[in-house]
Amino acid sequence: MSISLSSLLSNQSQAKAWVSFASNSSGSTIYQSYNVDSVTRNSAGVYTINFVSPSPFSNSNYCAVGSFGGGVNALFSQDIPDSGGISTSSFRLHSGSVNNTPGLQEAPYTSVAFFGN
């Protein structure tokens, strides 16, 4: 059985984009990625993940699944669509601690995968 690249890319059960990166006050460093062009550090704990062009998504109704690590008891959240946090070209997220000093914080390691059309 052979599977074409176009059928793989149209399958909703597979990630259309993903990224693993580190961030600190100097910026973000991508370790590995697929269909992600860059990660912008907007401020402490606030990042914009920019997808490649043309976008792997036909609409902004995709699912984002992520995790943070490296000593931060993390909370993963996204901006609401009304604020421009979700689009076919980018996704804005927040990382923060829910322990000790609550609030937005840098996460030494972040990974996010995106699923959808």
The predicted structure's pLDDT at residue 80: 43
**Position 2 in a domain:** no
Domain that holds residue 83: 13-115
Q: pLDDT tens track of the chain, all 117 residues? A: 666 766 666 666 789 999 999 988 888 899 999 999 999 999 888 889 999 999 999 998 998 888 877 655 555 555 544 456 789 999 988 877 666 666 777 777 889 999 998
**How many domains does the chain contain in total?**
1
* Cα–Cα distance measured from residue 83 to residue 71, given in angstroms and rounded to the nearest whole number: 29
Q: Is 74 exposed, middle or buried (0-12, 13-18, 19+ CB in 10 A)?
A: buried
Residues 108, 69 contacting (CB under 8 angstroms):
yes
**Position 74 in a domain:** yes
**Position 7 in a domain:** no
Residues 91, 32 contacting (CB under 8 angstroms):
no
**Position 57 in a domain:** yes
**Position 1 in a domain:** no
Q: Quickly list DSSP for 53-98.
A: SS-S-SSS--EEEEEEESS--EEEEE--GGGT-B-SSEEEEEEEES
Encode pLDDT of 54-65 as tens digits: 999 999 899 888
